[in-house]
Every structure is written in C-alpha cells, then in structure tokens.
Amino acid sequence: MQSVQGNLQIKGKRQADATPHAASLIEGMRDFGYTLETAMADIIDNSITAGAGRVEILAETTTDEPWIAVIDDGSGMTEAELIEAMRPGSKNPLAEREGHDLGRFGLGLKSASFSQCRQLTVISRRNGQTSGATWDLDKVAKTNVWNVDLEDDLHGLPAVDKLPETGTIVLWRKLDRLSTNFRHDTAKRSAEINKALSGAERHLRLCFHRYMEGSRPKLKLLLNGRLLAPIDPFATTHKATQVDPEEVLPLVSGEVVTQCYTLPHHKMMSRAEWEELGGPEGHLRSQGFYIYREKRLIIAGSWLGLARQTELTKLSRVRVDIPNTMDADWKIDVRKASAQMPPIVRERLRRIVERLQGTSKRTYQRRGRKLVSEENLPLWNRIQKDGGIVYRPNVEHPSIQGFADLLPEEFRHGFRACITLLGSGLPVAALHADMLGGAESVESDRSDFAELAEMAETAIRELLKIGMTGSDILKTLCSTEPFVNHKDSVRQLVEEIEQGEHS
C-alpha cells in the first residue's frame, strides 16, 4: 500500500477516503419518511424485541422544552451494548434475525428518533448498572464527528425516575419537527403536539394489537398513564364476523399465511364499534390486505394495486402474515411501513381478491333481488333493462292505485304521470356519490305513521274490496315499505276498518 498524491493505493487500484461527513449524513437520516406514528412504532418494535411486557409513552408538552419518552421493561443494555445501539448501522441488514426480532437494519432507533427530534438520549439499565448516551444533532453539526455523549450524571433527566429495574428509556428532546408552527407559544405548541400524539394513538393500537390482545397479553401499552386497548381490524371476537379458513403458501424463505374476514354488516354492531373499525378514513378505505411482519402490522387496508376499493368488497379484510426471513423478498423498508409483494405471493393474493369480488357480487345481487322480490307489494320495482338496472315506482301498489281510483277520471292520468316523473327523477348520480361516502348513512325517508295513515286506509279498503282477509292484508302491507316499521298501527287500522265494514 502506498500513498499516491494523498490517496491510498491497494493492489494497483487507487482509492480515496470517502468517510461520510457526520454533520450532513446525520441530518440526512432525519428524512426517511417517518411520521410521528411510524417513528413511535419503530421505537416500540425495539422494546418488544427486547422482551418488554410494559411500554409506556410519556409526553411533557406544556414546558418550554417539551419531550417524549418511551419507557420499557425489556432486557435493557449494558453500556457497551448501548453505545453499539447508538451507532447508525449497528447491525447488518443481511444478518439472520431471531424469529421474534422486529428489527432489520440497525438504524430504526436513530432514524425514527431524528425524524422527530434533534436530541436523542437512551438510558438503559441492566444487571443493576444504568448507562446513558446522547446524540445531539446540533453538537454533531458543530464538531462533524460521529461521537455520542455518555451521560455520567443521569439525575434531572426527564422520566429517568420511571426506569424499571431492567429496561430502557428512549428520550426525545428538541422536538423541532413536532412544533414547527408555534415555537414561541407554549399553549399552542402543546396543543399541536398533543394532537399529533392522539393521531398516533390509533396507529399504535392497530400496529401492535396482536401483542396487546388476549386474556394474558404479551404487551401493555400506555400513553401518559392510560392503558391503550388494542384495535382488532377483523373484529374477530364479534359473533357476526365471517372467518374463512387459513391458507398457507410455503416458499423457500418462509411461509405466507392468509385468512379472509368479512366484517359484520353495520346494523349488527353499535355505532361506536363500527366507527372504531372504520377509523378516520372510513370502511371503504379500510378494506383490503392487512400485512403483518412477525405479528406486527406493517401495511393496513390496501389491495396493493390488485383491485380498487369498492362498496362491493367494503367489508372484506384479508390478514397476511409474513416472517422476518422474507424481508428481502418483500423489500421491507427501515420504517416497516412499506413492502412490495414477491410475484408468486402477488399471484396468490390476486386469486384471493378475485374470489372475494365474486362472492361479494353474488351476495349483493342475491340480497338486492331478494329485497324487492320478497316484498309482495313493492313500492319500487327493480327492473333489469338493457344490461342495467332501473328502479321504477309501482303504480299498481294498492295505496297508489286506491288513491287514483278516488280521483275524478280527468286527474288520474296526470297523477300517474307525476308518480312516473318522480321515478325517472331518482337522483342516481347523487345516490352513487353518497353511497361512496358511506352507504350505511343513506336511508329512505322514515315517515311518521300519522302521515301514512290515510295511505294505509286507502290500501286496506282496496285490498278488502278484492276479497283479501284482514290477516292477509296485514301480512302483505307490513312486508313492504313504507309500512314495514308500523306493524302495530296497521294492525289496529285493519281491525277498525273491518269492524266498521261489518257494522
């Protein structure tokens, strides 16, 4: 090896020193695309890998120097391990990981933290020894060297008194990314950080729900002293949820396990349950695959380009489980928030989607046909026409027919024309748009029985005239809109009219 004009020469190849500039590279590590929620999840991944049973997030947002801490009771680290953990690229992404290990790149602790703050302190306790180390980006910017500060005096550090006998605290200070707008207004800044935290809360309850569930959950997750409840996106414990059998796809690098769920219809659950399952994006946007890496949710509610999210498959959710041995095949990123399907898995998932689309279509068509054909006397007819479907008011309905008969001859035609006009004016485009926003919120107008009484009376008299019995009339009328919800009132009316006719 000899120096050539300041460069190194090894075996005939000229080489030059290209050590990264600490100040610039560490700033670059801030922008891997994390949000507060994905960053926090990455920190909690480490706690779970370290075997923690309790992870508490504490946030002090009301002081001049707000901070966020994640405290776990996992294995903790010795000082040497802690220093190694602070190193960007502390582990080789190509190295084999244990089955329960949620890490891959040796980067997450640093990149997730720097995405939210300029000062990261990790305090860890193991075998009775407590150690602390800090990356301060402002200091690195000045010194341009890859050195962490070792914390010899831990007293006075936020949350340090919360460190369990064995465990770790990840402390974020200088939260420049979380309070960009109101740097000098403590109250507004606090509100801004708290808003971001409550947004992250749902993400964490979903991400780790499989660790948090069960009579003996493996993980208790707390936010500022409050135990968080898991959100199971498949409503597995709801008795009306349909669960298909598990399917296993064995591959060289591991097994992909899939299971299809059909959520209960919204009428089968409370509004709160339904809304929690749909989340802020709603059910339409929450259908699709839920991909778990080692039981940790990495992608939620997307058909990954295999299908569109439509009303038809709105209640379909597919659990996909992958092991960490498939990280390279799935191109898992540092944030554990994106992945690409290997072609063979894509093919399998495509078949699952096609099957789901077929089943949902048949169920809806059957339900649609049934809805109308089961009614003996529909107010609306559903007619298949020119390859499409037309809804047309039924002018033969006894309420309409009966009223028309009461009208003088010259008005009857005009009356029927009005009804037909109402039918052809059905605002189909607006209905489509409303249905897309949330089909379950679109309903027919529920009338008061007082408004319907006259119409019911006409219909009952019409049907008695053609020789139907009172009980048949009751059955016929109450199987159809608009009387379906007024059975008792109709029964009373039928009895009164029958008695009147007999006396």
Ligand X SMILES: Nc1ncnc2c1ncn2[C@@H]1O[C@H](COP(=O)(O)OP(=O)(O)OP(=O)(O)O)[C@@H](O)[C@H]1O
List of residues contacting Mg ion (CB under 5 A) = 46, 103, 108
C-beta of residue 263 within 8 angstroms of C-beta of residue 218: no
- We find the least distance from the C-beta atom of residue 304 to ligand X, in angstroms, to be 22
In angstroms, the CA 145 to CA 147 distance is 6
Question: Please, which residues have CB within 8 angstroms of residue 88's CB and are 6 or more apart in sequence?
Answer: 25, 26, 29, 106, 107, 110, 111, 146
- Number of neighbours of residue 45 by Cβ within 10 angstroms: 23
* 287: partner contacted, choices ligand X, Mg ion, none (Cβ within 5-8 A by kind): none
92 residue type, one letter? N
* 106: partner contacted, choices ligand X, Mg ion, none (Cβ within 5-8 A by kind): ligand X
Nearer to ligand X, 85 or 322 (CB): 85
Q: Which helix (H) or strand (E) holds 208?
A: none
- We find the least distance from the C-beta atom of residue 133 to ligand X, in angstroms, to be 11
β partners of residue 67: 60
Q: Tell me how far apart the terminal alpha carbons of the chain are, to the nearest angstrom.
A: 122
* 193: partner contacted, choices ligand X, Mg ion, none (Cβ within 5-8 A by kind): none
Nearer to ligand X, 55 or 284 (CB): 55
Of the candidates 119, 85, 77, 46, the one whose C-alpha atom is nearest the C-alpha of residue 336 is 46
- We find the least distance from the C-beta atom of residue 321 to Mg ion, in angstroms, to be 20
- 102 burial (CB, 10 Å; 0-12 / 13-18 / 19+) is buried
* 262: partner contacted, choices Mg ion, ligand X, none (Cβ within 5-8 A by kind): none
Nearer to Mg ion, 42 or 232 (CB): 42
- We find the least distance from the C-beta atom of residue 158 to Mg ion, in angstroms, to be 22
Nearer to ligand X, 56 or 72 (CB): 72
Nearer to Mg ion, 108 or 398 (CB): 108
Nearer to ligand X, 75 or 338 (CB): 75
Nearer to ligand X, 125 or 283 (CB): 125
Nearer to Mg ion, 88 or 278 (CB): 88
Nearer to ligand X, 173 or 189 (CB): 173
Residue 390 φ/ψ, nearest 5 degrees: -120, 135
* 462: partner contacted, choices Mg ion, ligand X, none (Cβ within 5-8 A by kind): none
Whether the upstream peptide bond of residue 217 has omega within 30° of 0, thus cis, is: no
Burial per residue of 452-489, b for 16 or more beta-carbon CB atoms within 10 angstroms, e otherwise: beebbbbbbbbbbeeebebeebbebbbebbbbeebeeb
In angstroms, the CA 245 to CA 248 distance is 10
Burial per residue of 191-224, b for 16 or more beta-carbon CB atoms within 10 angstroms, e otherwise: ebbeebbeebbebbbbbbbbbbbeeeebbebebe
Q: Which whole-number Å values give the CA distances from 89 to 29, 93, 108, 168, 202, in the listed order?
A: 11, 8, 9, 20, 30
Nearer to ligand X, 117 or 284 (CB): 117
Instruction: Report residue 240 as tokens.
Output: 């009306």
Binding site for ligand X (CB under 6 A): 42, 46-47, 50, 72, 74-75, 77, 85, 90-91, 103-110, 168, 334
Of the candidates 133, 115, 33, 11, the one whose C-alpha atom is nearest the C-alpha of residue 78 is 133
Nearer to ligand X, 50 or 460 (CB): 50
Q: Is the dihedral of CA 150, 153, 159, 162 positive or negative?
A: positive
In angstroms, the CA 42 to CA 56 distance is 14
* 107: partner contacted, choices ligand X, Mg ion, none (Cβ within 5-8 A by kind): ligand X
Secondary-structure breakdown of the chain: helix, strand, coil percentages, each rounded to the nearest 5: 40, 20, 40
* 90: partner contacted, choices ligand X, Mg ion, none (Cβ within 5-8 A by kind): ligand X
- Number of neighbours of residue 153 by Cβ within 10 angstroms: 7
